[in-house]
Structure 1
Amino acid sequence: MTDAAMNPITEDDIANYLANTPDFFERHAQMLATVQLTSPHGNRAVSLQERQAEMLREKIKALEHRIMDMVRHGNENVIIADRLQRWARNLMLVRAPQDLPAAVVTELVAQFMVPQAAIKVWDVAQPYQGESFATGVSEDARTFASSLTQPYCGVNSGFEAVDWLVDQAMAMSVALLPLRSGDLRNPSRAFGMLVLASPDPQRFAAGMGTDFLERIAEFASASLSRLRDA
């Protein structure tokens, strides 16, 4: 038995030969015109050049879709940044510290179209300890808020914070934002918690990115720190 029979040439051998012999088609240019391939858009046969052109068109179309997605995401980010700026600006315009918690919630609902929101703040200065936003929070809820190193997003699992909402039955998904003084990436004990809720189970889905919510928590924490000063 010959060596060729014992070691038949494989498709990989052919592919490697052609890849390493770029002048093959220069010596056999007529082959390119005779090669026929099956079109992915039907059962008709097309030339190698036409198939290459189709592949290039498909790549161009994919790149166009990616560019459109980038433009759309860029526009969405601009809109979010504008809303965040308006929300922060309106908080800065609040003169009385005791009006800040209501302003945080009202402006969030208005600017970001959040169906429901509520807030509680504790360890506040003596003049504000009797306010509704500073009462009705158990020690368990405070401990839970301090245990969160980033906003929680997901289903309502019977959190006490959901009881702060007007319509608890419509809180199918929630976001719980701990409020802290200082840098949230170096967590300290929370002095409050903001709860956002939606009847849409996917609005605040588990696993979603929380970067934007962290910025919300940072702005709210900085603004509400005035309640801790007497």
Structure 2
Amino acid sequence: MNPPHNAAMNPITEDDIADYLANTPDFFERHAQLLAQVQLTSPHGNRAVSLQERQAEMLREKIKALEHRLMDMVRHGTENVVTADRLQRWTASLLTSRDPRGLPYQIVEQLQSLFLVPQAAIKVWDCESSFQNEPYAQWVSEDVKALATSLTAPYCGLNSGFEATAWLDDARAAVSIAMIPLRSQPDAPAFGLLLLASPDGQRYNAEMGTDFLERIAELASAALSRLRP
């Protein structure tokens, strides 16, 4: 004969109760009146609510969270369509441009206007001799060239005094920047550097994806090949 259960020595725990209810699904069928008597604390105050009302509140919260996620997806989808449309317009303008000499200026001006970039600048080196007197082909140090070549992807982050920010109209307003190397092939040395800058410290940050900037780099590099020997 088993000894009587000593509740004082082996008290029933919350886990024991939860275990029992989980493994006895017909408990509330046999004690249906308990469901109406259970009172829980509402998350929207200290008042007590019934189990059914608490379940309804939880369901409403889940529905609201799903609605927010759906709204975010719609918003991001709309933003992506707008960005794709602007990129297509920018690409078309580069393809139809008949003025190679003015391409670097065009790239910068249209990036600023189409994508609302506060400041932008570009430098291109190793140009044909007929372009070497243009401002974009001058005053590029070997350090900047080496930095551009070392970048395997666009750099996005805070401006920690990079030399290239001196190309901007107002370097002090360049809090966050994107430095985009321009090259003819993925493994080739850089022949230029495109710089985007913003006074917003989060506009270009280390956590952001660079796929879009890489497309910008490929298109700009292809267009600027007309300046090179």
Q: Same fold (TM over 0.5)?
A: yes
Confirm or deny that 1:162 pairs with 2:165: yes
User: 1:119 corresponds to which residue?
Assistant: 122
* Secondary structure, counterpart of 1:114 in structure 2: coil
Confirm or deny that 1:130 pairs with 2:138: no
Confirm or deny that 1:152 pairs with 2:151: no
Which of the residues 44, 47, 52 maps onto 1:44? 47
C-alpha displacement of 1:195: 0.6
Please list the CA deviations of residues 44-66 of structure 1 after superposition, one character each: whole Å capped at 9, or x if unmatched: 22111111111111111111111
Where structure 2 has 5 or more consecutive residues not aligned to the other structure, the ranges are none
User: 1:207 corresponds to which residue?
Assistant: 207
Please list the CA deviations of residues 183-217 of structure 1 after superposition, one character each: whole Å capped at 9, or x if unmatched: 4xxx4311100011122233223333222222211
The alignment covers a number of residue pairs equal to 226
Please list the CA deviations of residues 139-166 of structure 1 after superposition, one character each: whole Å capped at 9, or x if unmatched: 1110000111111122222222111112
Give the whole-Å Cα distance in 2 for the aligned partners of 1:20 and 1:188.
Answer: 66
Give the whole-Å Cα distance in 1 for the aligned partners of 2:61 and 2:81.
Answer: 30
Aligned CA RMSD, in angstroms, stands at 1.7
Confirm or deny that 1:59 pairs with 2:67: no
For residues 86-125 of structure 1, the aligned pairs below 5 Å read 86-125=89-128
Q: Identity of aligned pairs, percent?
A: 69
Give the whole-Å Cα distance in 2 for the aligned partners of 1:30 and 1:200.
Answer: 60
User: 1:190 corresponds to which residue?
Assistant: 190
AA matched with 1:188: A
* Secondary structure, counterpart of 2:130 in structure 1: helix
Pick which of 206-215 and 171-180 moved more. 206-215
Give the whole-Å Cα distance in 1 for the aligned partners of 2:163 and 2:48.
Answer: 67
User: 1:223 corresponds to which residue?
Assistant: 223
* Secondary structure, counterpart of 1:6 in structure 2: coil
Give the whole-Å Cα distance in 1 for the aligned partners of 2:112 and 2:82.
Answer: 16
Where structure 1 has 5 or more consecutive residues not aligned to the other structure, the ranges are none
Change (3 A) 1:41 1:169: closer
Give the whole-Å Cα distance in 2 for the aligned partners of 1:102 and 1:14.
Answer: 74
Give the whole-Å Cα distance in 1 for the aligned partners of 2:48 and 2:199.
Answer: 53
AA matched with 1:75: T
Give the whole-Å Cα distance in 2 for the aligned partners of 1:46 and 1:125.
Answer: 79
Q: TM-score, normalised by structure 2?
A: 0.91
Change (3 A) 1:45 1:158: closer
